[in-house]
Structure 1
């Protein structure tokens, strides 16, 4: 069983100051509203409703953390999966958007326990200007990035491969980058994504 299947809800935070103290490695999921972040987290953790997706894009504005218990030490965490607020939804007013961007940017730049970033992109839309801005924001941190091109079942195999190649080319400035097609409904790319995330959180527990 994957260690990700043990994930349990820990806390929702509106501000960085409300997060638990830094320590165990954290893997965050970030992407545009409606790109499929919640579905990706749920299928990777083998749980139906661990992460919630709002019917209204842009509604979820909290950082949600899911702890992975350490099997060798009671009340300790191996690490956390972190669901960051979706970005790029036009119906959010400017003040809310600025506050939102500060929380998102602050977490990505200053959270020392951040071990890896999962960038979620809708394969049908490809990388937007906002996605590229975020990628350039991430690059100086040197943290590894896994790009999940979600809803890959909507494309034929050949078109999926082309989309992955195009994403890698656009994101070439990010050093430690791995991109793959992904589908929660058709279970495409789940094993590859799981292996990357497990290695970031706790290599000693990966077979």
Structure 2
């Protein structure tokens, strides 16, 4: 069983100073509002309602952390999955968008326990201006990034491969970047994404 399947809700925070002290490795999920972050977390954790998405995209303002328990230590954690607020939804007031940007940028650039970043990009849209802004926060940190090209079931195989090459070219300034087609509905890319995240959390679990 994947260690991700053991994920359970740990805490929520509205500000960076409300997060627990950095410790076990964290893998965060980030992307524009309505990019499918909650869906991706749920399918990777093999749970239906671990992560919740707001009925109104762009309204989820909290950083939500999900713990991955250490099987050898009942009170310890192997690591955390972190669902960051979606960014850039048009109907949200400008001031609120900028506040979220400060939270996102601060977490991505300064969180000491951040081991890897999962960037969700709609395969049909490619790299948008908002994705580029996220990439600009990420690139200087040199942290590894896994780009999940969501809604991959909407494209035939050949078009998916072209989309992967296009994203890698667009985001070439992110040094350690992997990009894969992903679909929760058609279960595309789930195993590959799970292995990458597991390796960030605990390299020992990957042969």
Q: Whole-Å Cα distance in 2 between the matches of residues 137 and 99 of structure 1? A: 15
Q: Which runs of 5+ in 1 are unaligned?
A: none
Give secondary structure in 2 for the equivalent of 1:33: coil
CA deviations on 1:61-112 (whole Å, 9 max, x unpaired) are 1000000000001211000000000001011112211211111111001100
Q: Whole-Å Cα distance in 1 between the matches of residues 80 and 22 of structure 2? A: 11
Equivalence for 1:176: 176
Equivalence for 2:130: 130
Deviation for aligned residue 1:136: 1.7
**What's the TM-score once normalised by structure 2's chain length?**
0.98
Tell whether 2:68 aligns with 1:73: no
CA deviations on 1:34-78 (whole Å, 9 max, x unpaired) are 111111000000000101111211011100000000000121100
Q: Whole-Å Cα distance in 1 between the matches of residues 97 and 175 of structure 2? A: 29
Equivalence for 1:6: 6
Q: Whole-Å Cα distance in 2 between the matches of residues 102 and 55 of structure 1? A: 24
Equivalence for 1:202: 202
Aligned length: 207
CA deviations on 1:117-172 (whole Å, 9 max, x unpaired) are 00000111111011012112111100000000001001111111111110011011
Equivalence for 2:99: 99
Equivalence for 2:145: 145
Deviation for aligned residue 1:206: 2.5
Q: Whole-Å Cα distance in 2 between the matches of residues 94 and 185 of structure 1? A: 33
Instruction: Provide the aligned C-alpha RMSD in A.
Output: 0.8
Q: Whole-Å Cα distance in 1 between the matches of residues 40 and 23 of structure 2? A: 24
Q: Which runs of 5+ in 2 are unaligned?
A: none
Deviation for aligned residue 1:205: 2.3
Q: How does 1:110-129 map to 2 (within 5 A)?
A: 110-129=110-129
Equivalence for 2:52: 52
Q: Whole-Å Cα distance in 1 between the matches of residues 56 and 66 of structure 2? A: 22
Q: Whole-Å Cα distance in 1 between the matches of residues 186 and 42 of structure 2? A: 13
